[in-house]
Amino acid sequence: MKPNLHDSLPPQLRDLKSQWKQPSVPDGYFGGLEDNIMARIKAEEAFAEWRTPAPTARPTGWEHWRKVLFSPLWQLGMVATLVFALGVGYHYWSPVPDESLALTSEEAAWYVEQNIDDFALTTIETALGTSLSEADWATTPAFEESEEALEEYLEEYMIDDLDTDLLETYL
């Protein structure tokens, strides 16, 4: 059997316990305490909700990218990058207008004739398809030995191109 908690108390204290009279409380206090506490809890919750901004859901997927792509800062960055890329592309890959292609064959011939000294020997050789080196010149007729040979050569290759005064000086 469980011993009484107050068995060990002095008799006066034991008797007092059984006759104990609580201090007074306002009428109906305990009847309204439950509602008072609940009202305070609801008021505190409402206040806390009012103070705390509603959490905005973090956008996901397309919604997230749509927000990023349409943000002014992002758009400005994209435009700057595009302009830079176009500039670089234009600088490196734009076709160089080949004005020579627009020349007629007569114009090209005239240009070469006027600027023959500016062309490298190899370029001329490539264009003519023949060698112009000094070794090859040996195959030309030995004009010093024969005037007839010179005349024949001139007649065959150059006579039409020489002007008359110059031809007379040679002859």
- Contact residues toward another protein (CB under 8 A) are 5-6, 9-10, 12-13, 16-26, 29-30, 33-34, 36-38, 40-41, 44
Q: Find the shortest distance in angstroms from Cβ 4 to another protein.
A: 9
User: Which residue's CB is nearer to another protein, number 52 or number 130?
Assistant: 52
Q: Give per-residue burial for 108-142: e unless 16+ CB within 10 Å, then b.
A: eeeeeeeeeeeeeeeeeeeeeeeeeeeeeeeeeee
Residue nearer to another protein on the CB measure, 49 or 125? 49
CB of 71 to another protein, least distance (A): 37
Least distance to another protein, CB of residue 49, Å: 14
Residue 150 near residue 156 (C-beta atoms within 8 A):
no
Under 8 Å between Cβ of 96 and 103: no
Q: How far is the CB of 30 from another protein (least distance, A)?
A: 6
If the CB atoms of residues 9 and 103 are measured against another protein, the closer one turns out to be 9
Phi, psi (degrees; rounded to nearest 5) at 2:
-70, 125
SS3 73: helix
Q: Which CB sits closer to another protein, 41 or 83?
A: 41
Of 6 and 64, the one with the shorter C-beta distance to another protein is: 6
Compute the least distance from the CB of residue 64 to another protein, in Å: 30
Q: How many CB atoms lie within 10 A of CB 152?
A: 13
| Cα–Cα dist 22/4, whole Å | 22
CA–CA distance from 29 to each of 26, 33, 37, 46 (Å)? 5, 6, 12, 25
